[in-house]
Amino acid sequence: MSLHPGSRQAPPGNQIATASNAVLVGIFVILLVAAVQQARSFLMPVFFALLLFFVLMPVHRRLQRFGLNGQLVAGGLVVGLLIGLGAIVGMLAGPVRQVTANLPDIVAQISTRLSAVRDAVTAMAQSLGPGDQSDIPSLRPPLPEGEGENGSEPPPEVTFLMDNAGDVLLYLAEAPAMVAQLIFALVLLFFLLSSSRIIYRKIIQSFSTIATKRAALATLRETEDKLCGYLGTITLINAGLGICVGLAMFALGMPVPLLFGMLAFLLNFIPYLGAVMGVTLASIVALLWFDTLGPILAVGATYFALTTVEGQLVTPSLLAQRLRMNPVPVFLSVAFWAWMWGFMGMLIAVPMLVALRVIAEQIRPLHRVAHFLSAD
- Assigned domain for 269 exists: no
Residue 148 backbone zone (phi > 0: left; psi -120 to 50: alpha; other: beta): left
Residue 162's pLDDT band, with cuts at 50, 70 and 90, is very low
- Assigned domain for 86 exists: yes
- Assigned domain for 7 exists: no
Long-range contacts of the stretch 155-160 (C-beta < 8 A, 24+): 155/108, 156/107, 156/108, 156/111, 156/112, 156/115, 157/104, 157/107, 157/108, 157/111, 160/107, 160/110, 160/111
How many residues are listed for the chain in this entry? 376
Residue 35's pLDDT band, with cuts at 50, 70 and 90, is confident
Q: Of 28-37, 85-94, 130-139, where does mean pLDDT reach its minimum?
A: 130-139
- Assigned domain for 262 exists: no
Q: Who contacts 88 (Cβ-Cβ below 8 Å, separation ≥6)?
A: 262
Question: What's the mean per-residue pLDDT of the chain?
Answer: 77
The DSSP code sequence of 65-132 is: TTT--HHHHHHHHHHHHHHHHHHHHHHHHHHHHHHHHTHHHHHHHHHHHHHHHHHHHHHHHHHHSSSP
Residue 196 has pLDDT above 80, yes or no: yes
The one-letter code for the residue type at 218 is A
Burial tier of 12 (Cβ tally within 10 Å: 0-12, 13-18, 19+) = exposed
- Assigned domain for 113 exists: yes
- The total of structural domains in the chain comes to 1
Residue 151 has pLDDT above 70, yes or no: no
- Assigned domain for 183 exists: yes
Contact between 134 and 297 (Cβ < 8 Å): no
Q: Give tens-digit pLDDT for 297-355.
A: 899 999 999 999 988 888 877 776 666 778 888 888 888 888 888 878 888 888 888 88
Q: d(Cα 172, Cα 329) in Å, to the nearest integer?
A: 35
Q: Give tens-digit pLDDT for 91-106.
A: 777 666 766 666 666 6
- Assigned domain for 273 exists: no
Domain that holds residue 91: 41-120+156-206
Give the pLDDT of residue 307: 92
- Assigned domain for 177 exists: yes
Angle (nearest 5°) at CA 140 between 252 and 95: 45
What residue spans of 129-256 are helical by DSSP H?
Answer: 156-163, 165-194, 196-205, 210-251
Q: Using alpha carbons, select from 100, 265, 94 the residue that is nearest to residue 168.
A: 100
Give the pLDDT of residue 4: 52
Dihedral (CA of 263, 341, 50, 271) sign: negative
Give the pLDDT of residue 5: 52
Average pLDDT over residues 282-290: 84
* Maximal CA-CA distance, the chain: 97
